[in-house]
Structure 1
Amino acid sequence: MNNRDNQQVTSNSKIFTDKDAFRETVRESAVVLGQITQDNIKILKTLIDTIFPSDYTTENYEDADSMGEFERIAYCGGKPAGVIVCDADKSDMLYISMIGTLTQYRKCGIGSILLEHAVQLAQKLKKPMSLHVRVDNVNAKSFYEKNGFIVKDFVEEYYKQEPKGAFFLVNNTHVEGEISKIVANREQPGTSARSNSVILREVTKETVSNLKMLMETVFPNMYPDVNFDHAHKLGKFIRIAYINEQPIGLIICRMEKEMLYIALIGVLVEYRRQRVGSALIQHAISFGETIKKHIHLHVQIDNITAQQFYQQHGFIETERDYTYYDEPPRAAFIYTKKFSE
């Protein structure tokens, strides 16, 4: 082998290593499924235009923020990485009109998380799921078939660009609320296994019990008089973190002194040091940026670990309250994260 060949092999190895290292970092990062709002509609459009060039027009998404659970943006480490768009009006099915990730985030499991969102929605609605797959997308077809989809039809002129043909697949396993687990296909872009992915979800009437359990477990005897009746109406001010569908952490915010105040943030002991706290704090940071409000919180003066955690996420000490806590040590630092005006 001459020097030129050796350099080429080394160069190719470096490229592979860099991609592999990036994907490993992505797999270890928290994935948050965000709702569509007026503030991130542009992000939604950019994702659709980038992932599905020429296939879809984004001019019909001016009212995307009104579609609720039927749309989600996947954020990985706080950055937009993928999107899913569903429609419940097609033949009484939950139709997945779009699901995909940006090229650099493929084979990292984000596609599986997006599909899992559709599965849960189908279970809630007790409707079958359906979608189209381009005729030459063998990996995608295999992935959906592994997850209970069956080919029902073939449409010769479905897509605008060649090849125009598409398989129409249906999954009926969720009509009666049957629970299934997503089977990842390592060859399918965006669907490699993520057994420890952190997913944040809003609180609904059905999941208020999860919030109550977390409050009682993470903060025992600290908030015995909390009323959970309206927790499902708090929107972005509250999130529950899940790993493998198990509730393992929470964050509760409120507005205070023209700032976004983090009232509670906590994780079950057995799930600490697994980036759950980072996912929760990142939600608050993204929310603060969206509503253009600085963020602040209290941290006990002897809690060095928590102080270092907040510092790593851009918080700085701005004040001290020497009588904040009821039990010693009573003193607390007030940490603040400010955004540029």
Structure 2
Amino acid sequence: MTFLRIDHVTKQFGSLQVVKGVSIEATKGEFVVFVGPSGCGKSTLLRMIAGLEETSEGSISIDGEDLTHADPADRHVAMVFQSYALFPHMSVFDNIAFGMQINKVPKAEIKARVAEAARILQIEPLLDRRPKQLSGGQRQRVAIGRAIVRKPKIFLFDEPLSNLDAELRTQMRVEIAKIHREIGATMIYVTHDQVEAMTLADRIVVLRGGLVEQIGTPIDLYDNPANLFVAGFIGSPRMTLLSGTVESSSAHGIQVACPALSRPQSIAGPFARLPEAGSPVTLGLRPETIRIDAANPVFSARVEITENLGGSTLIYAVTQDGTALIVPAQERTSVRSGDTLPLAFSTAPHVFDAEGKNLRLP
């Protein structure tokens, strides 16, 4: 059952429209991540859900109640910002309890709610400290605790980990996933980091230029990107994209020639639409499908640099037509800069037409 409904919402600042008729639904307890490049409208959309930005057109409802024009305090949401926004002169306990104290919640209930939030966040020993005595990760836990004690219907996160270093980001991703599992609340999370989106989300909403490009589970978006933008944005390392031309097209499939490949490739369907012979296409290869294959190479690439990650290696290389690609090796390798690698791919590539739409059906 739909718990959050965003129906054809737009947001306009003067003549500039930053959100353009977006419709999204979320079920109760779902973790939905808005992801996209800077300026795509994801934070503006989150602020409209919170009531911090007015909706120009469309409607927003939570738990069946139309809250499009409701005040933020009446929307039953709690927001965790990029900045921790903690009161420096207050203890952790008082920072978490502040909203309840203002609303004159009984002291016994405040104590119980703060204790429960501290248990969930594992910050019980920190309740008497001031924010300046905390690490960045601990401060973010306090900010999340302040949201938890409000018992909102929806938690809203606006890039909450962007101020943390890489190790803390990884730790806090795990912590937020644990919190979601324990609380079971609906969470809407904004990030530009597709790794956060892939690891946290039940479903991902990919935005670009104020429009929704695709909505789906992380695996759906990874395996079946709707277009070139989603294909390039979701996945790390990035998908390799090879320009080509359709040589022949029939009900059995297509044959594509690419300057990067040593011979044309036959690609079986099913296809949403068969591209015509002579039409330009782009072949998309996930890095894990590319392998070093001296016995039956399909193309070659010159190694530029290798990254030894200990148990695995990333090989950065360039094909004969100048296309950059990354070849992951699941072991240490003796490959060096300047070497030429014989390469093949293990699964049929994605096929994108001249407009960037993915033609191959899952």
Return the TM-score normalized by structure 2: 0.30
Q: Which has the higher helix share?
A: 1
> Is the radius of gyration larger for structure 1 or structure 2?
2
User: Comparing both structures, which one devotes a greater share of its residues to strand?
Assistant: 2
